[in-house]
Structure 1
Amino acid sequence: MTAATIPPDDPARALLHVKPDDGNLPHLSIAGGTYTILVSGKQSAGRYCLFEMRVPPGGGPPPHRHDFEEMFTVLDGAVEFTFRSEKTLARAGETVNIPANAPHNFRNVSDQPARLLCMCTPSAQDEYFLRVGDLVASNTAPPPALTPEEQEERKQRAARLAPEYRTELLTP
C-alpha cells in the first residue's frame, strides 16, 4: 500500500471559533424550530455545515431524503428518529447518523424543547435553510406568526427548491 500524500496547509483557511452568543450567526425559523448555522459550507470549504437545532415539543421536519450524510447529537431532550420506517429514540448525549439517500425524519417526543447539533457532509443544507427559513433575532426567539397562506408558501418553496439541494421531500 502506498502512503497518501497530504496536501499542503491552506493558509487562506483560518481557525473558526464559534461562540453561541455571537450576534452575527444566522438564526432561522424552520418547521416550527429554530436552526442556527454555526459553521457554513463557505467556512468549511464545502466539506460540511453544522447547525444547532432547537425543536419544540412535537416539532421536526417531514419525511425526506438527500444524497449527503447527516449526523445528529442530542444535547437536550428526547428525539424520535424514523429511519427507513423504523423508529429509534435518542436522548441527550446520544448521536444518530443518517446515511445518504435513506428516508428519514425526526420529532421531539418530549414535553420540553429539544436541542441538537446537526452536521451535514458535504455542505449545502445551510444554503437551502437560508432560502426556505425565516430569519429570527436569536436562537431562543419565537418563530414568526405566519398566516395559513404564508405557511403554505413556505412548504411550496421548500418543495420547489429541494431538488436544487439534492433533497427529496417524501410527503404528498
Structure 2
Amino acid sequence: MNNEQATSRPTSPIPADDLNRQLTVADADGEELQRVSIVGNNYTILVSGAQTAGRYCLIDMLVPDGGGPPPHRHDFEEMFTLLEGELEFTFRGKTQTVRAGSTVNIPANAPHVFKNKSGKTVHMLCMCTPAGQEELFLAVGFPIDSRTSPPPKPTPEEQAEKVKLLAALLPKYRTEMVTA
C-alpha cells in the first residue's frame, strides 16, 4: 500500500451538513411554543416538522382524566412515552394499561385509541414520523396560553366548526377515524 492510499478517505455515504438547519432546544413551558387544546387535551409542539425537515415532530401532551382521542389510524408511525400517570391503549381491538416509564410504538396504518381512566392527568411525549400531525393539531385545536392552561369551553357552534374542519383535513394528513 502506498502513502496516497493509506491517507485518502473514501467518499462518505452521509450527505453534507445542511447549514440551513439549526439546533432546536425546546422548554415545554417556553412562551415561544405553539399550544392547542383538542377534546380537552393540552398539546405543546416541542419540535415541529419545519425544524426537522419533515422527518418527525415531538409533542408534549397533558391528557386529563377521561381524555383521549376517538379511535383512529394514520399512515405514519406514532410513539408515546409516558412520563406521568397511566393510560389504557387499545391497539387493533386489544386493550392494555400502560404506565409511566413505558414507551408505546404504534405502527403506521394500525387502528388505535388511548383513554385516561386513572383519575389523574397523564403527561406524555408523542413523536410522529414523518411530521405533519402537529400541523393537523394546530389547525383543528383551540389555542391556549400555557401548557397547563385550563381547556377552553367552545360554544356548540365553534365545536361544530372544528369537527367540520377536522373531517375536511383528515385526508390531507393521512388520518381516518375508525369505529371501535
Asked whether the 8 Å contact 2:28–2:44 carries over to 1, the reply is: no
Give distance in 1, aligned partners of 2:157 and 2:63. 23
- Unpaired segments ≥5 residues, structure 1: none
Partner of 1:40: 48
- 1:58 aligns with 66
Q: Which aligned segments of 4 or more residues in structure 1 are displaced greater than 4 angstroms?
A: none
Structure 1 contact 38–52 (Cα < 8 Å) conserved: yes
1:149 aligns with: 157
Give TM-score scaled by structure 2 length. Answer: 0.90
CA displacement at 1:171 relative to structure 2 = 4.5
**Match 1:135 to one of 131, 137, 143:** 143
Q: Partner of 1:100 in structure 2?
A: 108
* One-letter amino acid matched to 1:150: E
Q: Which has the larger radius of gyration?
A: 2
Superposed CA deviations along residues 98-126 of structure 1, whole A, max 9, x for unmatched, are 00000001111210100110000000101
Match of 1:122 in 2: 130
Following superposition, the deviation at residue 86 of structure 1 comes to: 0.5
Offset at residue 4 of structure 1 (A): 7.5
Under a length normalisation based on structure 1, what TM-score does the superposition of the two structures give?
0.94
What secondary structure is seen at the aligned counterpart in 1 of 2:31?
Answer: coil
1:113, 1:46 → 2: CA distance? Answer: 30
Percent same amino acid among aligned pairs? Answer: 58
- The aligned length equals 170
Q: Who is 1:7 aligned against? A: 15
What root-mean-square deviation, in Å, do the aligned CA atoms of Structure 1 and Structure 2 show?
1.5
Letter in 2 for 1:18: A
Q: Is the 1:48–1:120 Cα contact (8 Å) retained in structure 2?
A: yes
